[in-house]
Amino acid sequence: MWLQGIVLIVSLLILAWSADRFVDGSCGLARVLGVSPFLIGMLIVGFGTSAPEMLVSAVSAFEGSPDIALGNAYGSNITNVLLILGIAAIVNPIKVDFSVVKKELPFLAGTIILTVFLILDGLISRINAISMLVLFIPIMVISSLGKKEEAEEDSGKKESLPKSIFWIIFGLALLVGSSRALVWAAKDIATALGVSELIIGLTIIALGTSLPELAASVSAARRNEHGVAFGNVVGSNLFNTMCVVGIAGTITPVAVDPKILTRDLPAVALVTLFLFIFGIRKQISRISGVFLVALYIVYTVLLGLKII
């Protein structure tokens, strides 16, 4: 088990370092292109850090277990808001641009309503799944319009385009690779210590696919890149709701567990409501961060004990 211990420590160090480089490249690209850090956080960082979820979705569907993809998608949405934004806000209170409440968050809420409508019959068909993937394109296009006003905040600190792109690609590769290594090591250690597979699945596996989001958002918050930190979560949740589920349903029709409608989607709707509240208040304070993390712990414990 000593090998897994070394991999665990090294993976954590690489994860933290690569998150810094990834955020550096993303914010540098925002300055070069003259777009807002929020938009970069939502599109590039949000898409990039959702790579593990999309990978798990595709593999699960190919292996005949698309329900894992749904659980991963909606579970990651809950984790992103409660745990990731919570920890990021504890590290450094996050300022939220109110314009997000008027544009991006309504899109996110709309995708959740659409999802409920599509799965009421207990099935996500290929047509439904492809529709979700196609609809995601105009959402991203509309979100990208009129987002240049924040880009002048650091206008005196221009980055080179090649350097920014290099750090985005290299940082993302290390983020995804180190997160997968961390999950492997943590799973082996937990198994060796006799921890149940249920607890491993609820904690290590579910958390594992969200590690890039956690590292990127915390790193962005620490650097006062508030738009990137918040945009990462909003973008990642949009990707999870539309693309991760869409990929699984496109590969194979997905039979929906009734608990997704009665437990998981209501939880996703609740945490999305929290995003609206933070947007209206224009910040996520440290106290709010503590509340979010505490709520995540309670939710996970209730799941583990099968109370909900």
Query: If you write DSSP's letter for every residue of 2-33 in order, what string do you get?
Result: HHHHHHHHHHHHHHHHHHHHHHHHHHHHHHHH
User: Is 285 exposed, middle or buried (CB count within 10 Å of its CB: 0-12, 13-18, 19+)?
Assistant: middle
Token pair recorded at residue 235? 């973008």
**What pLDDT, on a 0 to 100 scale, did the predictor assign at position 119?**
87
Which is nearest to 98 in space by CA: 279, 284, 285, 283? 279
**If you average pLDDT over each of 25-29, 206-210, 222-226, which comes out highest?**
222-226
Per-residue pLDDT, averaged over 241-253, amounts to 90
H or E segment to which residue 163 belongs: helix 161-192
Look at 35-44, 62-71, 187-196 and tell me which has the smallest mean pLDDT. 35-44
Look at 139-148, 243-252, 267-276 and tell me which has the smallest mean pLDDT. 139-148
**What pLDDT, on a 0 to 100 scale, did the predictor assign at position 153?**
47
Q: Could you tell me the pTM of the whole model?
A: 0.77
Percentage of the chain beyond pLDDT 70 is: 83
Percentage of the chain beyond pLDDT 90 is: 26
Token pair recorded at residue 231? 């945009």
Please give the Cα distance from 302 to 290 (Å, whole number).
Answer: 18
**What pLDDT, on a 0 to 100 scale, did the predictor assign at position 58?**
78
**What pLDDT, on a 0 to 100 scale, did the predictor assign at position 154?**
45
Per residue in 258-295, pLDDT (tens digit) is: 888 888 899 999 999 999 999 999 999 999 999 999 99
Q: What share of the chain is helix, strand, coil (3-state, %, to 5)?
A: 80, 5, 15
**What pLDDT, on a 0 to 100 scale, did the predictor assign at position 302?**
87
User: What amino acid occupies position 2?
Assistant: W
